[in-house]
A and B are shown apart, each in its own frame.
Chain A
Amino acid sequence: MNIIYMLIGFSILLALVFLLAFFWASRSGQNDDLYTPGIRILFDDDAPPADEKKSDEDHPHP
């Protein structure tokens, strides 16, 4: 049963990784706006046909 010590250690480590990931997400502002991304994903990203000349190079690059 001593394996439990190791398993608990691993499980806590894993949970810590998730906690740190959450901190990182929160600090980088990912939780600031929880509404807009849900709308954004619904937009068609194909540009209307006549506007092809400036489609790729002008796309936003954060």
Chain B
Amino acid sequence: MKEQITLAIDTLCYHCGDSLPAVPFSSDDKQFCCAGCKSVYLILSSHNLTSYYAYNDIPGASQKKAAEHFDYLDEPAIAAELVDYMDDQTTVITLFIPAVHCSSCIWLLENLYKVNPDISNSRIDFPKKQVSITFKNQLISLRKVVELLASVGYEPQISLQDVVKKQQSDHSERNLISKIAVAGFCFGNVMLLSFPDYFGLSSFEHSFQSFFGWVNLAFAIPVLLYSGRDYFISAWTNLRNGVLNLDFPLALGIAVMFIRSAAEIISHTGAGFIDTLCSLVFFLLIGKWMQQRTYHYLSFERDYRSYFPVAVTRLTKGNTQPVPLDELKTGDRILIRSNEIIPADAILLKGEAKLDFSFVTGESLPVAKVPGEIIYAGGRQLNGAIELEVIKPVSQSYLTKLWNNETFAGQKDPIKTFSDKASKYFSIVLLLIALSAGLFWVNTDLNRAIASFTAVLIIACPCALALSSPFTLTAVLSIFDKNKFYLKNTAVIEEMARINTIVFDKTGTITNPTAKGFEFTGGLSIEEQQLINDLARNSGHPMSRELVKSLNLAPLYPVDNFMEKVGRGISGTVNGHSIKMGSAAYLGLTAQDKGSVVHILIDDRYCGYFRSEQRWRTGFKQTAIKLGQDQDLHLLSGDQDHDRELLTPFFPRMQQLHFRQSPQNKLDYILGLQQKGNTKIMMLGDGLNDAGALKQSNIGIAVTDDINNFSPGCDAILDGAAFEKIPQFIRQAKDAVKVIHMSFAISLTYNAVGLFFAVQGILSPLIAAILMPLSTVTIILFTSLAARLYAHKNNLL
């Protein structure tokens, strides 16, 4: 018996790889950590789908979390919003499934028809973690399809917000790819036709010259009008707003190149710069494409709508009916089941509410409410089902008002990038050089004046300059990505290099929400631990459950006279001993509780107390000390201040530790810091209570332990495991800016060489055709290599 248990502890759950509890669930000599994992295995094995476990070891995701209720999917109005296509035979729906992560997932989800033949087809888009399912809607309902997915361990995340986003983003990328394709096609053909000219034509081939020229000109037109169109539009709109950005010299260069080439070809005076034009547009678009690549499966724009459920159960005269959230009106009665989220401010009518508000307020302990009390939206019900009466519609609730705050009515200032600033001066200097070169020659030789003026604009066209930022930043982006730090876009890196103030949230951000430890003060024998374990097993209170988990003992004795005083303590008789455990007040002790404490009384003898300690994230202490050297550190916690003493050593200035902060307090605090001037704030938070502050700060980083879970709107998502790398990330961001500066210097050198020929009016198409791609390739190589080199130095690769 004993040996079996040690063996079981050594092995892991066959389905999800979690460590096994004292008494594992087992089936077919396989061990499982929970009933959920086991039931997934049973479904798969009964349908002969056990190859799922053959493609990868432990391919499953943990099934400990109870599945949601999907009865709202039976409402035609809600279903219609979600499906891609529907007729009277078949329905096609695309669902986002966060759990998708390996080839076994692909295999299983594409073999769904074997579990239920009414599903005719299912296809995975792995990078987007989406599955597109076609099913016969006469035979199986949408709800059944989704429940089937949940039953095999792939519960889709259904949110009306993400669906819209998905449909928008697809189009712009395909358009850009088409533009690149056209530019590349023309570029290749033009190079082919230009080569004879580079090598010199013998006299009998001269008849081809004008033919090649005309064909080249024909190729240039789609490049100019289709592929390069955005540069003209952008330059024009920026010019009208009085902004000189890099698109202006680019558009000018492209236009001048085309006009001069057309003139030369039509007048038979030269071959023109069509090849340079095409290569320029082609490389520029590639840079743009690199910069636009985003994480398809991460959403940085989430608000309360994706945290809240899609629908809620409304009670009307004893009937229950799921309704979409925006149809919820004041006075409606709603039913909230265990583990569901309260979507609107409401009065509790029936049932015993025990709400976990940790995501909203940062307070880690659940709050109990009795009928008649007001419950604010955002809490998660932990006990059984409750009935509520809505007093405010969803959009007017206390929590959601944060998003409708007027601070966010206007767009956040776009991040000023280095290339934006530099291009202003670049454009002015470029125009001055071009004009003075033209004026210098205008009296002696008009043709040469025009030649040098246009040549300056062509050769100084800042292609390499325009590419240095995108290539450096995308290289850094992918380095960050490997370290589990996901940025919304490349501009965030430049902003990160300017950070001088860091604001932390406490619960879930610098503490690890899953690792809760119990520290026992006093003395307990093994037998006494067993007694406590058996008693605590009977309670549903989170503290009891945590305690049982940390004791990790199998149940042994039955419990008699079990009594639970909600939120205070439990008592009972186990193996002849009377045991009481709970708060000091419950046990009649005089001690003051600091934090979450469970005192133990066995046969009226005081044994000591368990203290629940939230553990800091790995490396938090060193990280805070390192960050404190260069940045000003602040803490904004929604929690009580029992951790103040523990945190004081890491925050050099005591007065910058703030506790009991409401979401509005946090937002105001950030605003106050920003108004002092010269502060660039990086805020790290995790919950809805930080959402306002995250949005307001210069960079809002959402810290999460599972990137697929909900995270509030932010600029970057940081996996909790990478928390200790924050100082390295900041250093890497600063180094990235250095690399951009260096590559600007390199491309300016190339421009200077080109200008040397251009101002004299002797720029030949050949020199232009060599310089342009050469400078581009140099920049691409330099930036990606330098970014990696710095990443090695910063221990990020």
By a beta-carbon cutoff of 8 Å, the part of chain A in contact with chain B is 1, 4-5, 8, 12, 15, 19, 22-23, 26-27, 31-33, 35-36, 39-40, 42-44, 47-48, 50-51, 54, 58-62
Q: Is the CB of B170 within 8 A of A39?
A: no
Q: Is the CB of B181 within 8 A of A4?
A: no
Q: Is the CB of B178 within 8 A of A35?
A: no
The 6 closest A-B CB pairs, nearest first, are A60-B121, A48-B48, A36-B126, A33-B125, A51-B48, A19-B185
Known: A8-B215, A32-B170, A62-B121. A19 touches B113 (CB 8 A): no
Q: Is the CB of B120 within 8 A of A32?
A: no
Instruction: Tell me whether B467 is interfacial, beta carbon within 8 Å.
Output: no
A54: which B residues are within 8 A, CB to CB? 114, 117
**Interchain CB contact (< 8 A) of A31 among B48, B123, B124, B177:** B177
Q: Is the CB of B174 within 8 A of A26?
A: yes
Q: How far is the CA of A50 from the CA of B123 in the complex (A)?
A: 24
**Interchain CB contact (< 8 A) of B178 among A26, A32, A61:** A26
Within the complex, the shortest CB–CB distance from B352 to chain A, in Å, comes to 47
**Interchain CB contact (< 8 A) of B114 among A4, A8, A15, A47:** A47
Known: A8-B193, A51-B47, A54-B114. A36 touches B124 (CB 8 A): yes
Q: Is the CB of A33 within 8 A of B185?
A: no
Tell me which residues from 106 to 129 in chain B have a Cβ below 8 Å from any Cβ of chain A: 106-107, 110, 113-114, 117, 120-128
Known: A40-B110, A42-B103. A35 touches B126 (CB 8 A): yes
**Interchain CB contact (< 8 A) of A33 among B50, B117, B121, B127:** B127
Instruction: Tell me whether B295 is interfacial, beta carbon within 8 Å.
Output: no
Q: How far is the CA of A33 from the CA of B48 in the complex (A)?
A: 29
Known: A12-B189, A32-B170, A39-B103. A23 touches B178 (CB 8 A): yes
Instruction: Tell me whether B408 is interfacial, beta carbon within 8 Å.
Output: no
Within the complex, the shortest CB–CB distance from B596 to chain A, in Å, comes to 45
**Interchain CB contact (< 8 A) of A26 among B107, B113, B124, B177:** B177
Known: A22-B181, A23-B178. A39 touches B126 (CB 8 A): yes
Within the complex, the shortest CB–CB distance from A50 to chain B, in Å, comes to 5
A26: which B residues are within 8 A, CB to CB? 174, 177-178, 181
Known: A8-B215, A54-B117, A60-B122. A35 touches B127 (CB 8 A): yes
A39: which B residues are within 8 A, CB to CB? 103, 106, 126
Within the complex, the shortest CB–CB distance from A44 to chain B, in Å, comes to 8
Q: How far is the CA of A12 from the CA of B48 in the complex (A)?
A: 54
1/0 contact trace for B360-391 toward A, CB 8 Å? 00000000000000000000000000000000
Given contacts A35-B126, A60-B110, 6 further A-B contacts (CB under 8 A): A1-B204, A8-B193, A19-B185, A26-B181, A42-B103, A47-B114
Q: How far is the CA of A28 from the CA of B501 in the complex (A)?
A: 48
Q: Is the CB of A43 within 8 A of B107?
A: yes
Q: Is the CB of B113 within 8 A of A51?
A: no
Within the complex, the shortest CB–CB distance from A11 to chain B, in Å, comes to 8
Q: Is the CB of B125 within 8 A of A36?
A: yes
Q: Is the CB of A48 within 8 A of B51?
A: yes
A43: which B residues are within 8 A, CB to CB? 55, 103, 106-107
**Interchain CB contact (< 8 A) of A23 among B181, B193, B211:** B181
Instruction: Tell me whether B756 is interfacial, beta carbon within 8 Å.
Output: no
Q: Is the CB of A19 within 8 A of B181?
A: yes
Q: Is the CB of B185 within 8 A of A15?
A: yes
Q: How far is the CA of A32 from the CA of B174 in the complex (A)?
A: 8
Q: How far is the CA of A19 from the CA of B186 in the complex (A)?
A: 10
Tell me which residues from 159 to 188 in chain B have a Cβ below 8 Å from any Cβ of chain A: 170, 174, 177-178, 181-182, 185, 188
6 A-B residue pairs with Cβ-Cβ distance under 8 Å, sorted by A, are A1-B205, A12-B215, A19-B182, A36-B124, A48-B48, A60-B123
Q: How far is the CA of A41 from the CA of B265 in the complex (A)?
A: 51
Instruction: Tell me whether B208 is interfacial, beta carbon within 8 Å.
Output: yes
Which of B51, B107, B126 has the most CB atoms of chain A within a 10 A radius of its CB? B126
A47: which B residues are within 8 A, CB to CB? 48, 114
Measured CB to CB, the nearest residue on chain A to B215 is A8
**Interchain CB contact (< 8 A) of A27 among B107, B123, B174:** B174
Q: How far is the CA of A27 from the CA of B113 in the complex (A)?
A: 28
1/0 contact trace for B622-640 toward A, CB 8 Å? 0000000000000000000
B49: which A residues are within 8 A, CB to CB? 48
Q: Is the CB of A4 within 8 A of B106?
A: no
Tell me which residues from 48 to 66 in chain B have a Cβ below 8 Å from any Cβ of chain A: 48-51, 55
Q: How far is the CA of A11 from the CA of B126 in the complex (A)?
A: 38
Q: How far is the CA of A27 from the CA of B170 in the complex (A)?
A: 11
B124: which A residues are within 8 A, CB to CB? 36
Q: How far is the CA of A61 from the CA of B208 in the complex (A)?
A: 53
A12: which B residues are within 8 A, CB to CB? 189, 215
A1: which B residues are within 8 A, CB to CB? 204-205, 208
B127: which A residues are within 8 A, CB to CB? 33, 35-36
Q: Is the CB of B48 within 8 A of A50?
A: yes
Known: A26-B181, A43-B107, A58-B117. A32 touches B125 (CB 8 A): yes
Q: Is the CB of A40 within 8 A of B113?
A: no
Q: How far is the CA of A51 from the CA of B413 in the complex (A)?
A: 60
Q: How far is the CA of A59 from the CA of B121 in the complex (A)?
A: 8
Q: How far is the CA of A27 from the CA of B51 in the complex (A)?
A: 35
Measured CB to CB, the nearest residue on chain B to A4 is B208
Measured CB to CB, the nearest residue on chain B to A48 is B48
A27: which B residues are within 8 A, CB to CB? 174
B125: which A residues are within 8 A, CB to CB? 32-33, 36
Within the complex, the shortest CB–CB distance from A28 to chain B, in Å, comes to 11
Q: How far is the CA of A47 from the CA of B178 in the complex (A)?
A: 40
Q: How far is the CA of A19 from the CA of B178 in the complex (A)?
A: 9
B188: which A residues are within 8 A, CB to CB? 15
Measured CB to CB, the nearest residue on chain B to A31 is B177
Q: How far is the CA of A58 from the CA of B47 in the complex (A)?
A: 14
A60: which B residues are within 8 A, CB to CB? 110, 113, 120-123, 134
Measured CB to CB, the nearest residue on chain A to B116 is A58
Q: How far is the CA of A58 from the CA of B51 in the complex (A)?
A: 19
Within the complex, the shortest CB–CB distance from A48 to chain B, in Å, comes to 4
Known: A19-B182, A26-B178, A33-B126. A61 touches B120 (CB 8 A): yes
Within the complex, the shortest CB–CB distance from A9 to chain B, in Å, comes to 9
1/0 contact trace for B772-785 toward A, CB 8 Å? 00000000000000
**Interchain CB contact (< 8 A) of A36 among B106, B177, B185, B193:** B106
Q: How far is the CA of A44 from the CA of B189 in the complex (A)?
A: 43
Q: Is the CB of A58 within 8 A of B113?
A: yes
Within the complex, the shortest CB–CB distance from A8 to chain B, in Å, comes to 7
Within the complex, the shortest CB–CB distance from A60 to chain B, in Å, comes to 4
Q: How far is the CA of A39 from the CA of B124 in the complex (A)?
A: 11
A5: which B residues are within 8 A, CB to CB? 211
B185: which A residues are within 8 A, CB to CB? 15, 19
Q: How far is the CA of A22 from the CA of B180 in the complex (A)?
A: 11
Within the complex, the shortest CB–CB distance from A40 to chain B, in Å, comes to 7
Q: How far is the CA of A47 from the CA of B122 in the complex (A)?
A: 16
Within the complex, the shortest CB–CB distance from A7 to chain B, in Å, comes to 11
Q: Is the CB of B114 within 8 A of A51?
A: yes
Q: How far is the CA of A28 from the CA of B566 in the complex (A)?
A: 59
A32: which B residues are within 8 A, CB to CB? 125, 170
Q: How far is the CA of A54 from the CA of B117 in the complex (A)?
A: 8
Q: Is the CB of A15 within 8 A of B178?
A: no
Q: How far is the CA of A40 from the CA of B122 in the complex (A)?
A: 13
Within the complex, the shortest CB–CB distance from B179 to chain A, in Å, comes to 11
Q: How far is the CA of A50 from the CA of B103 in the complex (A)?
A: 23
B205: which A residues are within 8 A, CB to CB? 1
Q: How far is the CA of A18 from the CA of B612 in the complex (A)?
A: 66
Q: How far is the CA of A5 from the CA of B117 in the complex (A)?
A: 59
Measured CB to CB, the nearest residue on chain A to B196 is A4
Q: How far is the CA of A36 from the CA of B103 in the complex (A)?
A: 9
Q: How far is the CA of A22 from the CA of B188 in the complex (A)?
A: 15
Q: Is the CB of B178 within 8 A of A33?
A: no
